[in-house]
RNA sequence: GCCCGGAUGGUGGAAUUGGUAGACACGCUGGACUUAAAAUCCAGUGGCCAGUGAUGGCCGUGUGGGUUCAAGUCCCACUCCGGGUACCA
């Protein structure tokens, strides 16, 4: 199967600017964001990629990668797999067939009408004479509606009867065929069977247009009142239940008394046997429109010959580079600026045949889908990347990026990578093994009581409250994205100038979990700046440093620090790794002295976080450059062993006192020790304990 | 509407996945140093109550229930906030 094809696609076109607009540029009222003039739909020949062909593989691959579940869910929803059946309905009095997709073939008995999308090709053919005008007018209106109008605002259902009827294949009943824009041409077959008793949208439509609602399901698990209403067809029920009114001698199908799953299997088997339908899987994901009408972007290496042949250029003729243009204005009829590139545009082959180059260019995805592969071998002039480099580096062990890429970049590049894998160009099926979504760093901003945002340079602080420096109005401090208009942008260069690069880096890691969205505070930077200063002073001042054997408490704390930092780095919990380093430093400062060996070992733990300062400590101790080449220290489990534990002793779950006991003490003895403790009597209050729970090295709980 | 997150002191956040809630840091209070300020150092700091005092008690992880010897952590219902999505048959 060819993965790319060239065909008509609908695009938004602004006749004022004479350009094709992206969806985001089209406002809800159907006008162009930039110029305010209305946009129209227009057909343009475009390159499309058949990404749904990879839908199953894209779903299956999600099970093999370590990604946040939320992102996986978003991709699954985007792919939107649904299993159901395609069913054929005969149009009464025509030799036409309307094919529909449904996830609920079991509800065929409840189908009381059908709906075609306004763009459906059968609409004109089956509309009766007396309805032609109304239907044509409805189609025009639907075509003018923007996508948003058609979806968001159109809670009120609209539609028009075509005058024709279809035959319900399960019972031979004639059901009216309507046209309505709540059915989309781009999904399924662009036509549906409507079951108002069991589909909310159909229920609303049927109510609006007085179409019969035929109950076919008894919701046996619902409350009595709901059940009664549903069985009378007064309420819509989308959950499971027991089928009623679902048999007919017309086709011989009977699913009365069955529940949803059995109803589906039996109906599908019946449809397949009669040749009226088949089981079918549908995806929400559509073909991917890959053409853009812009100058910037990779040009398609394609020539359109005068005889109609569309030729893809040979590899050896690549790369096809963009021509230098004096004028970047769009070509006619929404064509890209390349349509103006005279010399570049026209080609003649050896036989004198004339051709024109493709003027569309590729979207930025063409680069972002595989840039990580180029990164493995960026200076390779002969090929995109060597097999060796790809094999060595791929797949990406840890990909860090924002959650906003969840369904576009991260899905497109997975698709791209799988295609390359199938072509034998890359050696793995998935590009990114682990994915991590870092949070955004925000900043404080200020707003008035009316919600108006106030730029930070107009804000005065007094006693923890904030005021407008001109109006004196009291302001509320809020957290918002950094923006020029709010004047709350933090320039990293300034932070580096005032506090140093190590402080900037350390603060960003210390301010909270990597995935959290959190506001920048200058006081926070001061905090880590202070820590770095304390550490630097303590570990470099000669009076603090000794060569004797290290104090066991300090050794223990050092090894705890190595262990915690190592584990936290692996888990990307940098904030807690840093707090452990602060604890170690505080311990040393309290002790007042430290062994030289401990000081340089600590410098090696600190080095990945604050490389400059760690290097200073390292070199002041006469160690050879550079600490960057030193391995991360290893901890020794021996030093971390505990032989006593201070047990928290609680009565009925309430902590009452603490008791230090050897960890080796058997449970029976612990029980005795606890009961003999002077404070125990007070809480036992003369009574006998019901139960004493001892969790070794954790807790003691006495139930009274 | 649906899907995905989240809610812990004055603030940013810890909490070995059911076992001492508030680590670490900011801020604040008091003290030392200083002519003074900054910087630095020391001590205290969840709330309420009792006591001159060491100390002791009660309450506390958005709300209301539940499971458990034990709940920030698990279950049920809900509130609020953030992000995504939109008639997908």
Structural domains counted in chain A: 5
A641: exposed, middle or buried (Cβ count in 10 Å: 0-12, 13-18, 19+): exposed
Higher-scoring residue by pLDDT: A342, A453: A342
Could you tell me the pLDDT band of residue A29, with boundaries at 50, 70 and 90?
low
The CATH number of residue A678's host domain is 3.10.20.590
- At A153 the pLDDT is 44
Number of Cα atoms under 13 Å in the Cβ half of residue A189 = 22
In a domain, A506, yes or no: no
Instruction: From the CA of A70 to the C1' of B5: give the distance in Å.
Output: 8
Do A626 and A647 fall into the same domain?
no
Do A158 and A276 fall into the same domain?
yes
The CATH number of residue A202's host domain is 3.90.740.10
User: Residue at minimal CA–C1' distance from B42?
Assistant: A590
Instruction: From the CA of A464 to the C1' of B26: give the distance in Å.
Output: 14
- At A28 the pLDDT is 60
- End of a domain among A591, A621, A639? A639
Instruction: From the CA of A530 to the C1' of B38: give the distance in Å.
Output: 14
Instruction: From the CA of A580 to the C1' of B70: give the distance in Å.
Output: 29
Stretch A559-571: mean pLDDT, rounded?
94
Instruction: Give the nucleotide nearest to A199 (CA→C1').
Output: B89
Do A168 and A258 fall into the same domain?
yes
Instruction: Give the nucleotide nearest to A578 (CA→C1').
Output: B24
Do A191 and A211 fall into the same domain?
yes
Answer whether residue A227 shows pLDDT above 70. Answer: yes
Which nucleotides of chain B have an atom under 7 angstroms from any protein CB?
Answer: 3-5, 11-16, 19-21, 23-27, 39-42, 57-58, 69-71, 82-89
In a domain, A389, yes or no: no
Answer whether residue A24 shows pLDDT above 80. Answer: no
The CATH number of residue A617's host domain is 1.10.730.10
Instruction: From the CA of A587 to the C1' of B8: give the distance in Å.
Output: 27
Which of A212-226, A478-492, A675-689 holds the top average pLDDT? Answer: A212-226
Stretch A519-542: mean pLDDT, rounded?
91
Do A306 and A242 fall into the same domain?
no
Do A274 and A306 fall into the same domain?
no
In a domain, A223, yes or no: yes
- End of a domain among A250, A265, A283? A283
In a domain, A509, yes or no: no
Instruction: From the CA of A651 to the C1' of B70: give the distance in Å.
Output: 10
CA A531 vs. chain centroid, Å, equals 37
pLDDT digits (tens, 9 = 90+) for A9-22: 777 787 777 777 77
Cis peptide before A319 (omega within 30 of 0): yes
Instruction: Give the nucleotide nearest to A516 (CA→C1').
Output: B6
Instruction: From the CA of A15 to the C1' of B51: give the distance in Å.
Output: 85
Do A326 and A473 fall into the same domain?
no
Write down the pTM of the prediction.
0.80
- At A460 the pLDDT is 73
Instruction: Give the nucleotide nearest to A651 (CA→C1').
Output: B69
In a domain, A118, yes or no: yes
Instruction: Give the nucleotide nearest to A533 (CA→C1').
Output: B40
State phi, psi for A272 to the nearest 5 degrees: -70, -40
Instruction: Give the nucleotide nearest to A571 (CA→C1').
Output: B16
In a domain, A494, yes or no: no
Do A103 and A202 fall into the same domain?
yes
- End of a domain among A590, A624, A639? A639
Instruction: From the CA of A655 to the C1' of B60: give the distance in Å.
Output: 14
Q: List the one residue out of A690, A685, A688, A677 whose CA is nearest residue A647.
A: A677
In a domain, A416, yes or no: no
Instruction: From the CA of A687 to the C1' of B69: give the distance in Å.
Output: 17
What is this model's ipTM? 0.92
Distance separating alpha carbons of residues A505 and A671, to the nearest angstrom: 50
Do A459 and A588 fall into the same domain?
no
The mean predicted confidence, pLDDT, of chain A is: 87
List the domain range (segments joined by +) for residue A108. 82-283
Longest C-alpha distance within chain A, in Å?
112
User: Residue at minimal CA–C1' distance from B6?
Assistant: A516
Instruction: Give the nucleotide nearest to A148 (CA→C1').
Output: B86
Instruction: Report percent pLDDT > 90 for chain A.
Output: 44
DSSP-derived secondary structure letter, A309: -
In a domain, A73, yes or no: no
Number of Cα atoms under 13 Å in the Cβ half of residue A339 = 14
- At A416 the pLDDT is 92
Do A353 and A222 fall into the same domain?
no
Instruction: From the CA of A146 to the C1' of B31: give the distance in Å.
Output: 71
Instruction: Give the nucleotide nearest to A519 (CA→C1').
Output: B12
Do A207 and A334 fall into the same domain?
no
State phi, psi for A153 to the nearest 5 degrees: -80, -20
Do A339 and A454 fall into the same domain?
no
Answer whether residue A451 shows pLDDT above 70. Answer: no
């Amino acid at each position: 199967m060819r993965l790319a094809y060239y065909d008509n696609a609908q695009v938004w076109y602004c006749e004022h600017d004479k350009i094709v607009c992206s969806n985001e540029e089209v406002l809800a009222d159907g006008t162009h964001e930039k110029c305010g003039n209305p946009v129209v739909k227009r057909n343009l020949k475009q390159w499309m990629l058949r990404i749904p062909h990879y839908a199953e593989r894209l779903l299956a691959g999600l099970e093999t990668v370590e990604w946040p579940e939320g992102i996986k869910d978003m991709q699954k929803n985007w792919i939107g797999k649904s299993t159901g059946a395609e069913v054929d309905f005969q149009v009464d009095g025509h030799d036409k067939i309307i094919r529909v997709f449904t996830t609920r073939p079991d509800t065929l008995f409840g189908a009381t009408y059908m709906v075609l999308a306004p763009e459906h090709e059968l609409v004109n053919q089956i509309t009766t004479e007396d309805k032609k005008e109304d239907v044509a007018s409805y189609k025009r209106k639907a075509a003018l509606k923007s996508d948003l109008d058609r979806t968001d605002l159109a809670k009120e259902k609209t539609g028009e009867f075509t005058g024709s009827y279809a035959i319900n294949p399960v019972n031979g009943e004639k059901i009216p065929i309507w046209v309505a824009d709540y059915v989309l041409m781009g999904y399924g077959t662009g036509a549906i069977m409507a079951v108002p008793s069991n589909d909310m949208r159909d229920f609303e439509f049927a109510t609006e247009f007085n179409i019969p609602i035929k109950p076919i399901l008894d919701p046996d698990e619902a409350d009595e009142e709901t059940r009664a209403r549903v069985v009378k067809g007064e309420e819509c029920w989308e959950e499971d239940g027991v089928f009623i009114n679902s048999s007919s001698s017309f086709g011989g199908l009977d699913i009365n008394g069955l529940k949803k799953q059995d109803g589906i299997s039996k109906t599908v088997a019946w449809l397949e046997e009669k040749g009226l339908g088949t089981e079918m899987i549908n995806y929400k994901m559509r073909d991917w429109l890959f053409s853009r009408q812009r100058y910037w972007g990779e040009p398609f290496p394609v020539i359109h010959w005068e005889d109609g042949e569309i030729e893809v250029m040979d590899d050896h003729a690549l790369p096809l580079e963009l021509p230098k243009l004096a004028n970047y204005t769009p070509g006619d009829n929404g064509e890209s600026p390349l349509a103006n590139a005279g010399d570049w545009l026209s080609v003649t082959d050896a036989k004198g045949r004339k051709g024109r180059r493709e003027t569309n260019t590729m979207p930025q995805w063409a680069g972002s889908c595989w840039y990580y592969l180029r990164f493995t071998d960026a200076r390779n002039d002969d090929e995109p990347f060597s097999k060796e480099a790809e094999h060595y580096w791929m797949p990406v062990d840890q990909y860090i990026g924002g959650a906003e890429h969840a369904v576009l970049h991260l899905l497109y590049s997975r698709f791209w990578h799988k295609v390359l894998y199938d072509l034998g160009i890359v050696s793995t099926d998935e590009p990114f093994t682990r994915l991590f979504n870092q949070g955004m760093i925000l900043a404080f901003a200020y707003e008035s009581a009316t919600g108006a945002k106030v730029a930070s340079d107009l804000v005065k602080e007094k006693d923890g409250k904030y005021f407008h420096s001109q109006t004196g109005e009291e302001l509320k401090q809020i957290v918002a994205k950094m923006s020029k208009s709010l004047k709350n942008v933090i320039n990293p260069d300034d932070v580096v100038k005032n506090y140093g690069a190590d402080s900037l880096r350390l603060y960003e890691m210390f301010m909270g979990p990597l995935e959290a969205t959190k506001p920048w505070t200058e006081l926070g930077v001061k905090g880590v700046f202070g820590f770095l200063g304390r550490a630097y002073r303590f570990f470099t001042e000669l009076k603090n440093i000794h060569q004797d054997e290290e104090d066991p408490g300090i050794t223990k704390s050092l090894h705890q620090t190595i262990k915690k930092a190592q584990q936290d780095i692996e888990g990307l919990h940098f904030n807690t790794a840093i707090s452990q380093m602060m604890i170690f430093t505080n311990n040393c400062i309290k002790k007042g002295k430290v062994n030289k060996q401990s000081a340089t070992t600590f410098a090696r733990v600190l080095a990945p976080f604050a490389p400059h300062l760690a290097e200073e400590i390292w070199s002041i101790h006469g160690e050879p450059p550079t600490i960057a080449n030193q391995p991360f220290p290893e901890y020794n489990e021996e030093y971390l062993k505990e032989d006593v534990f201070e047990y928290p002793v609680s009565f009925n779950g309430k902590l009452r006192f603490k008791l230090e006991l050897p960890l080796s003490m058997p449970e029976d003895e612990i029980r005795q020790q606890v009961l003999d403790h002077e404070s125990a009597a007070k809480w036992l209050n003369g009574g006998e304990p019901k139960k004493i729970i001892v969790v070794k090295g954790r807790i003691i709980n006495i139930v009274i």
